[in-house]
A and B are shown apart, each in its own frame.
Chain A
Amino acid sequence: MKKTIAILLAVCCVGLMLASCGSTPASSPAPASAAGEAPTVPTEEVTLQFWHHYSAQSAENETLMNILIPKFEQENPGIKVNAVSHEWADLHDKLLISAQSNTLPDVARLDSAWIPEFQQMDILVALNQEMSDFDSVAGNLLESAMSTAKIGDDFFGLALNTNTKILYYNTKALADAGIAPPATMDDFVAAAKTLAGTNGDGQQVWGYNEPGLSGWNLCPFIWSCGGELTNPEQTIATGYINSEATVGAIQMLADLYQSDSITGWNSGDIPMTDGFGTGRYLMMLEGPWKTAELAGAYPDLEYGTAPMPAGAGGSHSVLGGEDISMFTSANKEAAWLFLQFMTGEFAQEEMAKCGQIPVNKATMETETVKNADFAPYIEALPNAKSRPTVAAWTEMDNDLMVSVTAVMNGEKSAQDAMDELALKWDALLAQ
């Protein structure tokens, strides 16, 4: 028993010791966001809190920490930037919780799909109203990318980088089957069916992988088949999400799934990257990030890329990308300087070197960009479209996933499911 007390006491002592050395770095000064109301005095040091989702181990994060921020701090004496990396979904949740208690960072890199949601919460600064030189700054950036930050007549951020998805295919598999990369939707369907089957090991392979059934996954097919989600004003869904073309696109995917030609969204499916890397999925639609990931994990894989196959509606992929926004609690002058720096030529070109597609028009003309791996994406961008920019999109997206899942599993016909969905969406859009 005495020994136990000794152990416990030792544990306590160690604990207290750790506590004393653990608390030293923890007592850093409070963030500068409190000073947001007062005009900045140049002599006083400001620390900008910047949250982003460049993943912690990535080349982007290294560029940010080792090149961009030092350069910004050097150009803007008196302003420090504390950049924090969060996992993508975590960043969304953390911003939500921080908003509840007024502890938002000054600046954040936001998935453009989140902008409507945060705008509805009234926590984003309308840059065109607050910044007198907004027009000249925004004029340097691509209009299509800037549209992701626009709600009504106001802009709630600057476009930071853009992306879209193109078709990846397994070069060897297509050559073995004697088919060319599919250029049209009919070719695509035929290719998916031809490529599916069993491989030399007797393992099932699929012609195409789609890792989910939400808007990000389905929109390229719906749009390219000539369908729409809503009317252009984003007020009505009936007649668009349940139109013949949209239903046709969903039915096409369901038929491919029923014939075991495509898969990917089930919990028991091989994750997309691993499946493509090991030759189990032979085509996929993916963004510019995949190049580096495949090079790291599956360096021997031979693959090619092609534009989204064109259907009755043309070849339309889905527009992704990030915006950089400031929150209402921010130190606005310092934050505006940082926003301009991050969307400026220097930062955009540095980030382009790690595979981020720039939005700065001048950067688009540089040699770095012209020779970059992501050149095929730049060609696809002009035809890429963005998902509805309405606050209810998260909920609508979820309804879409639920409805299409039922179609895929044969529980509902595509027409019935989309008719029901249209009614739900009309109600959400009317709010």
Chain B
Amino acid sequence: MKAKKVIALSVKYLLLLLGAIISTLPMLYMISTALKPNGALYVFPPRFFPSADEITLENFGYILNKGGFLINFWNSIIVSVITVAIAALVSSALAFVLARFRFVGKKLLFGFIILTMIIPGTTMIVPQYELAVGLGVVNKLMGLIPFYVAWVIPFSTFMIKGFIENIPKEFDEAVYIDGGSLYTVYFRVALPLASPAIASVTIFNFLTAWEEFPWANTVINDDAKRTLPIAISGFFGQHQFTQWGYVFALSALSLIPVLLIFVMFQKYFVSGIQAGGVKG
């Protein structure tokens, strides 16, 4: 019996390990290519790992020292951080009201917010661009943030609402009895207790803002205001020529912040999604 359990457990770990390798291979390949000289992608025989004598930090050196990519990195950080911060505040406020109060048209409103998720964002570029022109935010980082916030509101609100509905109402009532207002409940009960849900949508939202390409490419013109995905696409040449080493080096560096955010918030991830997703 015990031997059987050991075997079963070993099989489980083996399966998981196999999957883990498949999950990480492409990323390892990205890093290994970034460490090879620029023209080495299609040499024969193909090598997964760079050979000892061809390992070079030239690609990373170029990215960090020349080409001004630090400003792109910085822009992406600004845009993504502000986006997730605003999205967390406004979505949790929306979710709190929708979870706790009854008013005319509430179901309709929530349904409508959810419904907009089925319209693909890419298709809205033309009307959105006209709006950005009207607001005078073309070629500014402010031309990105509110649009990103608006895109992530439906999913964020949906997830946080599900979570708040699972928080016992007694917590609210205790605050009201102590003479607290609705704001007190929102700030002292809803926000802190829903923080796992907020943390998990923050992971999603950060990624959305961090890797968004078509819209940023449309709104931003100047080099100094570009975000990372646009900077990366600058390496794809018109004439069938790509500097692979630079592309992969910059991409590898661009993963770091997303990874940091995930590791920072991941312990709230499971509990955060639980209520939101399960309740639907």
Q: Do chains A and B touch in the complex (CB under 8 A)?
A: yes
Interface size on A, residues (CB 8 A): 59
Q: With the chains together, A26 CA to B220 CA distance in Å?
A: 11
Interface size on B, residues (CB 8 A): 57
The reply to whether A4 and B192 contact each other, CB–CB distance below 8 Å, is yes
Scan residues 273-323 of chain A and give those whose CB is less than 8 A from a CB of chain B: 273-275, 277-278, 280, 286-287, 289-290, 293, 296-298
Interface string of A331-371 (1 = CB under 8 A from B): 00000000000000000000000000000000000000000
In the complex, the chain B residue whose C-beta lies closest to that of A85 is B223
Q: Take A1-B195, A55-B238, A84-B221 as given contacts and tell me if A97 and B129 are in contact as well, using a CB distance cutoff of 8 Å.
A: yes
Q: Given A22-B141, A101-B129, A273-B239, 17 other A-B contacts at CB below 8 A?
A: A4-B199, A8-B85, A8-B195, A16-B82, A19-B78, A23-B140, A25-B225, A53-B238, A56-B67, A86-B221, A87-B234, A87-B238, A100-B126, A201-B45, A274-B39, A278-B43, A286-B239
A203 beta carbon closer than 8 Å to chain B: yes
In the complex, the chain B residue whose C-beta lies closest to that of A58 is B237
Q: How far is the CB of A240 from chain B (nearest CB, A)?
A: 29
The reply to whether B195 and A4 contact each other, CB–CB distance below 8 Å, is yes
Scan residues 35-82 of chain B and give those whose CB is less than 8 A from a CB of chain A: 38-39, 41-45, 67, 75, 77-78, 81-82
The reply to whether A97 and B241 contact each other, CB–CB distance below 8 Å, is no
A412 beta carbon closer than 8 Å to chain B: no
Scan residues 130-148 of chain B and give those whose CB is less than 8 A from a CB of chain A: 130, 133, 136, 138-142
The reply to whether B42 and A97 contact each other, CB–CB distance below 8 Å, is no
Q: With the chains together, A203 CA to B221 CA distance in Å?
A: 44
The reply to whether A55 and B199 contact each other, CB–CB distance below 8 Å, is no
Scan residues 236-260 of chain B and give those whose CB is less than 8 A from a CB of chain A: 236-243
B84 beta carbon closer than 8 Å to chain A: yes
In the complex, the chain A residue whose C-beta lies closest to that of B132 is A101
Query: Which of B39, B88, B223, B233 counts the most chain A CB atoms within 10 A?
Result: B39
Interface string of A69-113 (1 = CB under 8 A from B): 000000000000010111111100110010011110000000000
| Interface of A (DSSP majority class) | helix
Q: With the chains together, A277 CA to B42 CA distance in Å?
A: 9
Scan residues 1-40 of chain A and give those whose CB is less than 8 A from a CB of chain B: 1-2, 4-5, 7-8, 11-12, 14-16, 18-19, 22-23, 25-27, 30
Return the contact of B198 from the options A8, A86, A273 (Cβ within 8 A): A8
Contact partners of B224 in chain A: CB under 8 A: 25
Q: How far is the CB of A58 from chain B (nearest CB, A)?
A: 9
| Interface of B (DSSP majority class) | helix
The 9 closest A-B pairs by CB, nearest first: A4-B195, A297-B39, A15-B85, A88-B238, A26-B140, A272-B240, A274-B42, A15-B82, A273-B241
Contact partners of B243 in chain A: CB under 8 A: 57, 297
B268 beta carbon closer than 8 Å to chain A: yes
Q: With the chains together, A64 CA to B227 CA distance in Å?
A: 23
The reply to whether B82 and A289 contact each other, CB–CB distance below 8 Å, is no
Contact partners of A94 in chain B: CB under 8 A: 217-218, 221
Contact partners of B88 in chain A: CB under 8 A: 8, 11
B30 beta carbon closer than 8 Å to chain A: no
Query: Which of B38, B67, B237 counts the most chain A CB atoms within 10 A?
Result: B237
Q: How far is the CB of B83 from chain A (nearest CB, A)?
A: 9
B222 beta carbon closer than 8 Å to chain A: yes
B191 beta carbon closer than 8 Å to chain A: yes
The reply to whether B192 and A5 contact each other, CB–CB distance below 8 Å, is yes
Q: Residues on A close to B: CB < 8 A?
A: 1-2, 4-5, 7-8, 11-12, 14-16, 18-19, 22-23, 25-27, 30, 51, 53, 55-57, 82, 84-90, 93-94, 97, 100-103, 201, 203, 211, 270-275, 277-278, 280, 286-287, 289-290, 293, 296-298
B270 beta carbon closer than 8 Å to chain A: no
Query: Which of B84, B195, B264 counts the most chain A CB atoms within 10 A?
Result: B195
Contact partners of B84 in chain A: CB under 8 A: 11, 15
Interface string of B165-198 (1 = CB under 8 A from A): 0000000000000000000000000011101101
Q: Take A26-B140, A293-B241 as given contacts and tell me if A87 and B199 are in contact as well, using a CB distance cutoff of 8 Å.
A: no
Contact partners of B207 in chain A: CB under 8 A: none
Scan residues 98-149 of chain B and give those whose CB is less than 8 A from a CB of chain A: 125-126, 129-130, 133, 136, 138-142
B11 beta carbon closer than 8 Å to chain A: no
The reply to whether A18 and B223 contact each other, CB–CB distance below 8 Å, is no
Q: How far is the CB of B44 from chain A (nearest CB, A)?
A: 5
Query: Which of A22, A272, A296 counts the most chain B CB atoms within 10 A?
Result: A22
In the complex, the chain A residue whose C-beta lies closest to that of B191 is A5
Q: With the chains together, A58 CA to B86 CA distance in Å?
A: 38
In the complex, the chain A residue whose C-beta lies closest to that of B224 is A25
In the complex, the chain A residue whose C-beta lies closest to that of B193 is A1
Can you name 28 A-B residue pairings with CB atoms under 8 Å? A4-B196, A5-B192, A7-B264, A8-B191, A11-B81, A12-B85, A18-B82, A22-B82, A26-B139, A26-B140, A26-B141, A53-B238, A57-B67, A84-B222, A86-B221, A87-B233, A90-B217, A101-B129, A201-B45, A271-B42, A271-B240, A271-B241, A275-B42, A278-B44, A289-B239, A293-B237, A297-B39, A297-B241
Q: Take A8-B195, A278-B44 as given contacts and tell me if A56 and B82 are in contact as well, using a CB distance cutoff of 8 Å.
A: no
Contact partners of B263 in chain A: CB under 8 A: none
Q: With the chains together, A177 CA to B78 CA distance in Å?
A: 59
In the complex, the chain A residue whose C-beta lies closest to that of B234 is A56
The reply to whether B238 and A103 contact each other, CB–CB distance below 8 Å, is no
Contact partners of A7 in chain B: CB under 8 A: 199, 264
The reply to whether A287 and B239 contact each other, CB–CB distance below 8 Å, is yes
The reply to whether A278 and B42 contact each other, CB–CB distance below 8 Å, is yes
Q: With the chains together, A55 CA to B233 CA distance in Å?
A: 11
In the complex, the chain B residue whose C-beta lies closest to that of A301 is B39
The reply to whether A57 and B129 contact each other, CB–CB distance below 8 Å, is no
B27 beta carbon closer than 8 Å to chain A: no
B89 beta carbon closer than 8 Å to chain A: yes
In the complex, the chain B residue whose C-beta lies closest to that of A18 is B78
Q: How far is the CB of B205 from chain A (nearest CB, A)?
A: 11
The reply to whether B126 and A97 contact each other, CB–CB distance below 8 Å, is yes
Contact partners of B241 in chain A: CB under 8 A: 271-273, 290, 293, 297
Query: Which of A7, A16, A88, A102 counts the most chain B CB atoms within 10 A?
Result: A7
Q: With the chains together, A94 CA to B198 CA distance in Å?
A: 36
Contact partners of B130 in chain A: CB under 8 A: 100-101
The reply to whether B192 and A15 contact each other, CB–CB distance below 8 Å, is no
Q: With the chains together, A143 CA to B197 CA distance in Å?
A: 67
The reply to whether B39 and A101 contact each other, CB–CB distance below 8 Å, is no
Query: Which of B38, B88, B142, B239 counts the most chain A CB atoms within 10 A?
Result: B239
